[in-house]
Structure 1
Amino acid sequence: MSLSHRGRRVPLLLAASALAALGTAGLAQNLASFSAQAEAGKLAYAKNCAACHGAEMQGQIATGLKGDEFLGKWGAGSATLDDLSVYIRENMPPGQGGILPDETYTNIIAYIMEQNGAKHDGPLSAGENLSEVTLPAPTVDSAVGGLSTRVHPLPPGPPIPNPLASYTPVTEALLSDPPADEWPAWRRSHLGHGYSPLGQIDTSNVGKLTVAWAQALPAGNNMNEPLVHNGVLYVFGYGDQVFAFDAASGRMLWRYQRKLAEGTPLTSHKTIALYGDNLYTATSDNKMIALNAQTGKLVWETSLTDRDGMRNPGGPLAADGVIMQGMASQAPGGGIITAFDAATGKRLWTFETVAKDGQPGGDTWNGEPSNERKGGSVWTSGSYDPVNKLALWGVGNTYDTAPLRDLKPGMNNDALYTESTLAFDPHTGKLVWYYQHNRNDQYDLDWVFDRVIGTLEVGGKTERVVLTGGKSGLFDALDAKTGKYLKTFDMGIQDYIDRIDPVTGDKHVKPELTPGRDKGPVFMCPHGGGGRNWSPTSWNPETKTFFVNARDVCTDLTPTSGAGLLSTGVRAVYAPPPNGDGNYGVLQAIDPQSGKVLWETRRRQTPDMGILTTAGGLLFTGWMDRQFVAYDQKTGKQLWSTGVTGVPNASAITYSIDGKQYVAMVTGVGNPLSFGIPDVIPETQLPPVTSSAVYVFALPDDE
């Protein structure tokens, strides 16, 4: 490993063992002097660094860290220690940078300084700026960078392109209608299509796809859909790290790593966002941060919420100068959607997705006290309609079904705003319209997924519509301006709704399928963990075709004396569908105009990845058997597949650099689908080793 510093290459390697091996050597808070700190660093060095750098820092597997050669690179008049400190913290142990406590890194740096004759007035502070700290000059002239140029000069290397040098701000127009070669937003644009107009890779040549480049990401949960702008691929990694890669070569351009308080549960996110000069992401400690997209440096951060028990697995929506983020919770109070000024991080508004007494919709909770209402989680990013200037968000259900199940006299038990589409003015948070797709859900069959903005023929006229579906496999079309119900189309995987009102879209549940501990067992389809779930759809605006994948599994709801999945007191277990053939993974093409399923293909393993479609007639998605697969959009025929090391549970993207088309995808568990449904597919295996990576595919150069 090496560090580039003022034109010099500085080899460094600090091998580190498990955190537990550090013992008290990593605790610097009570060290009263620089020498005491260096002594603590000596112990940490012996346990974690000596095997590579030598017991006396003389160099062994890795370079030495003291003496004339080291001082020739870092001594007085040569360089300060800032870059050395940053490099060690961000990159050591190799591949696990930042895993050690700040105090441990500081102690080791103090020991290296002390061994090279440096002095410091008092102990170093963790993360201290060392720009004014210098080491003694070397006693003899030493070779720069450890490279001899006495006989032959080092020939110049090839020029390394830096696409960040030509970065241009991400505008509202670009997010609404991106250039064909880019993927600057979740699902590519504000409209949520998951479709690209690129067609260099098509049905005739997709079989020749090969890996163009790949990069390991921090091992752990990852369900992030990358973004591409100006030839740079941005992706979120486990441990709240963000990476910028050259999208053509995979060369890392910058890396941001957030420092989190010990014990913070680490989370993954479906998406990040670009707007103006910044990249935006939610963090595991419930902050919204803005990073400079060219440098990765923190621009601002602000708290998403001070409520306990809140999560942010979706991701931000950036639109019209506003950054919006949905939050999920099963604690009393419910979920929220909150918004910030993109330039400053100033909070603009917060909307409670579980309506309280005195608020619009507050009288729809069957008399349940406001402080006991739960649910309304938001765990998918929103879409933005630039024509009607509305931000569109989906809201989940409530697991606390018991207070809502049986309508009390004179009450309303719709439970707003669960299972709804919400349309906001992004600047004020004013709720312009809402539509509740499924009232009083008693089955955990959310409608919290992507909102797709497209056009359909309605009454002989072309109308702008919002298309969205729930776990049931039912999809509603709404008027994008008003939220008026237009129609429903059905995947055919549900059996618990027997009638849909053609005017209002109200779904009528079969009364005999209402579950609870005071009722008998209920068998119905789909299971709350099955159906159309988590993974985004794709909409081809040219062919007006809708593509969706699902898990065709049913559920047996049996009474239980315990809490159960739902507070009505039922245990929900997976069950195969009636007359099933053992193939539980479903991929469909649907014509929303007619409501017909144009084709369906099935697979024994279930999907866990969103859908990408392209102008080349291709559809890409991934499955629990760790296969990334390309299909013919017209027929559903499989055309190409490749195995990957991790679970492909994010959504693939495609982009073009200098006329060459690439397809990229991320692996790593993190969404609920990535754990499969082993009860009905017992041979399902998760990867034996936790990993995460970004894979990028392209055609061979001679194609």
Structure 2
Amino acid sequence: MIGSLLGVAIWFGAPAPSTRIEAQSQTTPLSYTAGQGEQGEVAYVEHCASCHGRNLDDGAYGPPLKGNDFRQKWGSRSAEGLFTYTSTKMPPAQPGTLGDATYAQLLPVLLQENGSQPGARELPGDPEALKAMSPPNWPRAGGGGLAPRVIVPPGPPRINPLDRIRPVTEAMLNKVPDGEWLTWRRTYDAFGFSPLKKITKANINDLRVAWTWSLPNGPNESTPIVHDGVLFIHSYGDKVQALDAATGDLLWQYSRRLPAGVAASIKRGISIYGTRLYVPTSDAHIVALDVKTGKVVWDQAVADPKKGYRMTGGPLVARGKVMIGTTGRAEGGNYIAALDAETGKEAWRFYTIARPDEQGGKSWNGLPLEKRNGGSVWIPGSYDPVQNLAFFAPGNTYDTGPLRTLLSQPGVTNDALYLDSTLALDPDTGRLAWYFQHQANGQWDLDWAFERMVLQLPVNGGLQSVVVTAGKQMIFDIVVTETGKYVSSIDLGLQNLVTSIDARTGAKTTDPNLLPGDGQTKMVCPHVSGGRGWMPTSYEPATRILYVPIVEACMDLVPVAEGERGSLSTGVRWTVRPRPGSDGQYGRLQALNLETKKTAWVERQRAPLTTGTLVTAG
């Protein structure tokens, strides 16, 4: 069965998580000071009045926060419950973003506007202290309600899956339990395959929504982690939430406060290992969170955003190392860093742009290091425990102009290593075991930056462990896992750039007429977003079929006016266009048999595909 793996929402149902807060035995009524009431009014006007109204009951977009209905709902419930609700659900567009101090300031104004008088004792801002306090037993209009000082017995103890969550071991990562999703594509080999069988073509129409959970506004591309009944979600705005997978209830939440001048960016994954969750941040840190509480265990800077670095991929954890690549246009290019999973200390660093005095250093057309940039790693890596190799995929550069025309200097090339390559690194040391460059001197922003699958295929009469990947051109390259030796390629036939592939080396020859930078408009297929983009493929090992989400579109590379840089430094910008002879269908799902190199089937639709794929055993 094939289904969508959504990067923007939780796909298997989420009523917003249960907001019912059971009444508990309380010993202390809520109290607040007049000063706290005044502070609460200021906070309310700034953050809440636009929806609920200045008077708390005259808003066009939010329910009344005073009066009989409000008092009936929240009377005799714990103050901690009211605080938790507001701090995790409000404001609806950006829940949890105001900070605990602001949410605590709002409680006094709610009490004040519902008839409670200030006193001498301050209301605490600590959620734990609020657990022992409750709002007044406000009487309902017309009678009814609890009598004053009546204590409602607590409900039955709630089962919290975090109480029984187990540490994630290397054995579990090497062989992921059937119901778990422990890495970006579930398993180290990046298959995106689930062995679960209950959902089949025969019963899929019987599925119903169990619960829903709204993510913060903004682009959300991260894949959740699922372990022991807990769903860990990393969403836009640097927020991590732990949810009960059975009910959708929020168990804990972590929000990153970004420094001034740093904007939130997308991320594509988080990792779990031991008792910690490893989270990339928009200010280029890795934060280790305790899986049971969401509290920070360590916080380590990986790069400096002031120098142009970002991290939009996700971490790979193997052999006690947390490995992640940087992105951006910093001078000297990007790198892959490995942190010690226990302490956060940097263990090694590998630069994705060859240094002038190292292997590949003369492949940059004579450019000094400070003029070299690119090599962003914006997709999480994969790992082969048999060979003990981690695989990463640096993309290309936007500064293509200096690489366009080869200099006539001995030993100098314009291949630009290690752009558009597969890098095989030793996770213990960061040593480069091998590399394979899929496209030399990429002048079109058609990255080979996506997942590297590690799988078994028949090669020369026997099974061989190979690494399989494709760039935006939808050409799949197959190389030997141990050595990087080229095996073969499969071209899906939706590109017009590569005219031939060397059967021995895999080197690609491109159409010289499509080289940008000569002042002419070039029509290139696919579009710069990719026939296949960051939306991942999935692989079914039993059938050796790969499921590929595709967008059928091309682009015109249009020269910009004199003095303008353009999208690429060859002086062009891109515009989207349909493929020649298009029938108006842009979305394509293609099932490719990697053993026979034949297409099993194709499903096309009008709308472009904007999600990855998931394949299951059912």
CA deviation map 1:141-197 (0-9, x unaligned): 999xx9737999968756643222211111112112111121121111111001111
Alignment of 1:635-650 (within 5 A): none
1:391 is paired with a residue whose SS is strand
Contact 1:11 1:62 in 2 (8 A): no
TM-aligned CA distance change 1:65 to 1:418, over 3 Å: same
Corresponding residue for 1:589? 591
CA deviation map 1:356-394 (0-9, x unaligned): 222332221001121011211111000011111111111
Alignment of 1:449-598 (within 5 A): 449-516=450-517, 518-561=518-561, 562-598=564-600
Root mean square deviation, CA, Å? 3.7
CA–CA distance in 2 between the matches of 1:399 and 1:576?
24
Aligned residue pair count: 574
Which has the larger displacement, 322-331 or 498-507? 322-331
Contact 2:24 2:152 in 1 (8 A): no
CA–CA distance in 2 between the matches of 1:36 and 1:165?
39
- Please tell me the residue identity of whatever aligns with 2:55: A
Contact 1:52 1:60 in 2 (8 A): no
Residue 258 (1) aligns with residue 256 (2): yes
Corresponding residue for 1:306? 304
CA–CA distance in 2 between the matches of 1:230 and 1:86?
24
TM-aligned CA distance change 1:256 to 1:134, over 3 Å: closer
CA deviation map 1:277-332 (0-9, x unaligned): 11111112222111111222221111121242222221111112111111110232
Corresponding residue for 1:182? 180
2:309 is paired with a residue whose SS is coil
- Please tell me the residue identity of whatever aligns with 2:430: G
Q: How far did residue 130 of structure 1 move?
A: 8.9
CA–CA distance in 2 between the matches of 1:213 and 1:10?
34
Alignment of 1:627-642 (within 5 A): none
Alignment of 1:238-637 (within 5 A): 238-307=236-305, 308-410=307-409, 411-516=412-517, 518-561=518-561, 562-616=564-618
- Please tell me the residue identity of whatever aligns with 2:470: G
TM-aligned CA distance change 1:89 to 1:347, over 3 Å: same
- Please tell me the residue identity of whatever aligns with 2:237: G
Query: TM-score, normalization: structure 2?
Result: 0.83
2:513 is paired with a residue whose SS is helix
Which has the larger displacement, 502-511 or 526-535? 526-535
Residue 62 (1) aligns with residue 62 (2): no
CA–CA distance in 2 between the matches of 1:504 and 1:353?
22
Contact 1:51 1:60 in 2 (8 A): no
CA–CA distance in 1 between the matches of 2:504 and 2:348?
34
CA–CA distance in 1 between the matches of 2:503 and 2:132?
79
CA–CA distance in 2 between the matches of 1:91 and 1:203?
36
CA deviation map 1:188-229 (0-9, x unaligned): 111100111111111222232222222122222211211211
Q: How far did residue 86 of structure 1 move?
A: 7.2
Corresponding residue for 1:172? 170
CA–CA distance in 2 between the matches of 1:447 and 1:260?
31
CA deviation map 1:583-636 (0-9, x unaligned): 1211111122232122212111111111101111xxxxxxxxxxxxxxxxxxxx
Q: How far did residue 497 of structure 1 move?
A: 1.0
% identical aligned pairs? 43
- Please tell me the residue identity of whatever aligns with 1:574: V
Contact 2:520 2:559 in 1 (8 A): yes
Contact 1:547 1:589 in 2 (8 A): yes
1:601 is paired with a residue whose SS is strand
1:305 is paired with a residue whose SS is coil
Corresponding residue for 1:210? 208
1:220 to 218, 221, 231: 218
Alignment of 1:146-161 (within 5 A): 148=146, 157=155, 160-161=158-159
- Please tell me the residue identity of whatever aligns with 2:163: A
Corresponding residue for 1:678? none
Residue 194 (1) aligns with residue 192 (2): yes
Q: How far did residue 560 of structure 1 move?
A: 2.4
CA deviation map 1:225-262 (0-9, x unaligned): 11211111111122221122221222222222222335
Contact 1:59 1:65 in 2 (8 A): no
- Please tell me the residue identity of whatever aligns with 1:169: P
Contact 1:526 1:554 in 2 (8 A): yes
CA–CA distance in 2 between the matches of 1:448 and 1:349?
22
Contact 1:467 1:478 in 2 (8 A): yes
TM-aligned CA distance change 1:569 to 1:292, over 3 Å: same
Instruction: Could you tell me which runs of 5 or more consecutive residues in structure 2 were left unpaired when the two chains were aligned.
Output: 1-18, 59-64
- Please tell me the residue identity of whatever aligns with 1:247: A
TM-aligned CA distance change 1:476 to 1:134, over 3 Å: closer
TM-aligned CA distance change 1:134 to 1:602, over 3 Å: closer
- Please tell me the residue identity of whatever aligns with 1:604: R
1:213 is paired with a residue whose SS is coil
1:62 is paired with a residue whose SS is helix
1:51 is paired with a residue whose SS is coil
CA deviation map 1:542-592 (0-9, x unaligned): 111111121121222232233222111123222222222111211111122
- Please tell me the residue identity of whatever aligns with 1:471: K
Alignment of 1:13-52 (within 5 A): 39-45=38-44, 48=48, 51-52=55-56
Contact 1:315 1:380 in 2 (8 A): yes
Q: How far did residue 465 of structure 1 move?
A: 0.7
CA–CA distance in 2 between the matches of 1:293 and 1:92?
24
Which has the larger displacement, 426-435 or 212-221? 212-221
Corresponding residue for 1:162? 160
Q: How far did residue 6 of structure 1 move?
A: 6.7
Which has the larger displacement, 217-226 or 404-413? 217-226
- Please tell me the residue identity of whatever aligns with 2:281: T
1:211 is paired with a residue whose SS is coil
Query: TM-score, normalization: structure 1?
Result: 0.74
TM-aligned CA distance change 1:101 to 1:538, over 3 Å: closer
CA–CA distance in 2 between the matches of 1:461 and 1:391?
24
TM-aligned CA distance change 1:546 to 1:9, over 3 Å: farther
- Please tell me the residue identity of whatever aligns with 1:316: P
